[in-house]
Structures are given as structure tokens and as C-alpha cells.
Amino acid sequence: MMTSASPPSDSQLAEYDFLGHLAALETLPDFEAAVAPYCSQVFETQSVLAVRYYRDRQPDVLFRWIPGAALRQTFDSYYRGLGFMLDPFYQLALRSPDFAVHQLREIAPDRFETSEYFATYFGTTQMVDELGATLRLDADSAVHLSLGRSAGHKRFPARQVRHFKLLARAIMPKLRAVALQADPSRQAAPGFVDLHLRFRNLRIAGQAALSDRQAEIAALIVQGHSSRAIGLKLAISEQTVKVHRRNIFKKLGISSQSQLFDLLISGLSHLAAETG
């Protein structure tokens, strides 16, 4: 005896309607108008933003839905200038083969929540969690969609993480299409200095510049990687990393990770704008 299937719930019908509308979108403003309110409601977020990352220049903010004034101000003033270089999603975006979607804790370095970047950016904005999806555009750029939760809200529960990972499979190809339509060409920004080169080009009076390896390790330290994690990442021993760390701090005249971060972003250091 055949039994009839249960009718779809209101939330399922709303998602089918959203997906149907998504398929017909042609422009970035239309994408924002559809995706930002839907995701903010379904996933109970306090921010929804889309960014285009590049390997050789600062990112383009495609749109940002950030009602909270503190988060909006910090994002505008800090993230695009330097903060994006320390963002785990940026680090992932240009390494992943094509499509990736994660909760922040799944990809963050092991000491991320004790890093100065976390204290500066997440502390100021009071963000407590983030879901992010990235999709490559070409060898040197990718689009990223971020959903954020702020203080007073819990981390995303497992069911919402699973839901976003499925929904992102439909959302991200459309984001890629409208992003390419909005900006079909680009050029490298003259004088762009990535995180590794910022450390390589540090000049402290009376001290030699950091070596390539030391600059590489310094960049990993400020991202929130422990000595053990850096050793595993670079295929060297934890003790070797600790030796490099001591030499880095000695050359830069500092004694802590927080001072390393401060030196990176402050005007006290001399950052050469040359990339060669």
C-alpha cells in the first residue's frame, strides 16, 4: 500500500523559493538584495558579506551587510588594509583547489583565539563565530561569502553548519557569476606587499633583516600558529621553530607575539614597498 509523502514545511518552501529566485539573478546588487536578508534570517547572523580575494592586491568588498556600527567601522577601517592577510578564510581561499566551506574553528590555527589579530578584530567587533565559503575564480583570485555572529549569540550549531555547507553549493556559483560580470578584468596593484614580504622588508636599526625562513615563520606566528603547528606545516622540528622564533625576536628587539603583531601594523617599523 502506497503512502503519500509528507508535504514540505514552510521553511522548505521558503528555501525552494529562494533557490528559484537565486537562479534568475543577474547582477551583484540583486544577489546582495536576495542573499543577505535570507541568510541573516535563516542562520541568525549579524553580518553577511562578500569579498573578492586576490593573490597580488587588496581584496574588493563586493558587498557588506553589517547593521552593527562597531563591526562595520572596524571592518571598513582595518580588514581591507591588513586584517584580511591574517584571516584564515583568506589563507584558505587561494590554496583550496576550487570550492571550500567551513566554520571558522575548522580552519583556524591552533592558537588563533589567543592571537593579537583575534583580540584586535574579533575583540573589537565582538564576533563569536563565522561561517565562510570560498570559490576560486582563477589561479589568482577567489570569491568569499561570510556569515558572522556577534556577542550575545552562541556559535553556529552543527545543524546550521551542515545546512550552510549544502546551501553554499548553490549560492557560490551564482556569486562567482555575478562577481565576474561586475568586474571581468583586473590588474595587479603596484607596490602591493603581502604578509611574508612585510616581515622580510622590516628594517630595525642595527639589526640584519629577517631571512626568508624567519619571515615565513613570523607570518605564521601572527596568524595564530603555535611552534608545534608551524613545525608540522613547514616539515621542521618544533625545536627548530623555537630557535627561529628567538632569533626573530632578537633581530626585531621584541620579546612576545603581541609585540610582533604591533610591529607589523605600527608606523614604527619601516616597511619597504619593493617586492623584488
The domains of the chain are located at: 11-182, 195-269
Q: So what's the architecture of 11-182 in CATH? A: 2-Layer Sandwich (3.30)
- Set of cell numbers at residue 179: 562577481
The reported pLDDT for the residue numbered 77 is 85
Per-residue pLDDT of 35-74, as tens digits, reads 999 999 999 999 999 999 998 888 999 999 999 887 888 8
Q: What are the angstrom distances between the C-alpha of 62 and each of 7, 27, 65, 199, 214?
A: 38, 11, 10, 29, 35
Give the lowest-confidence range in 41-45, 49-53, 112-116, 269-273.
269-273
Count other Cβ atoms within 10 Å, centred on residue 159.
8
The reported pLDDT for the residue numbered 205 is 72
DSSP state of 110: T
Q: Which residue has the higher pLDDT, 195 or 243?
A: 243
Per-residue pLDDT of 137-190, as tens digits, reads 999 999 999 999 988 899 999 999 999 999 999 999 999 999 998 765 555 555
pTM, two decimal places: 0.88
- Reported as a pLDDT band with limits 50, 70 and 90, residue 276 is very low
The reported pLDDT for the residue numbered 37 is 97
Predicted confidence (pLDDT) at residue 126 exceeds the cutoff of 50: yes
The reported pLDDT for the residue numbered 28 is 96
The reported pLDDT for the residue numbered 186 is 56
Regarding the domain delimited by 195-269, which CATH topology (the fold level of the hierarchy) does it fall under? Arc Repressor Mutant, subunit A (1.10.10)
Three-class HEC string of 176-225 = HHHHHHHCCCCCCCCCCCCHHHHHHCEECCCCCCCCHHHHHHHHHHHHCC
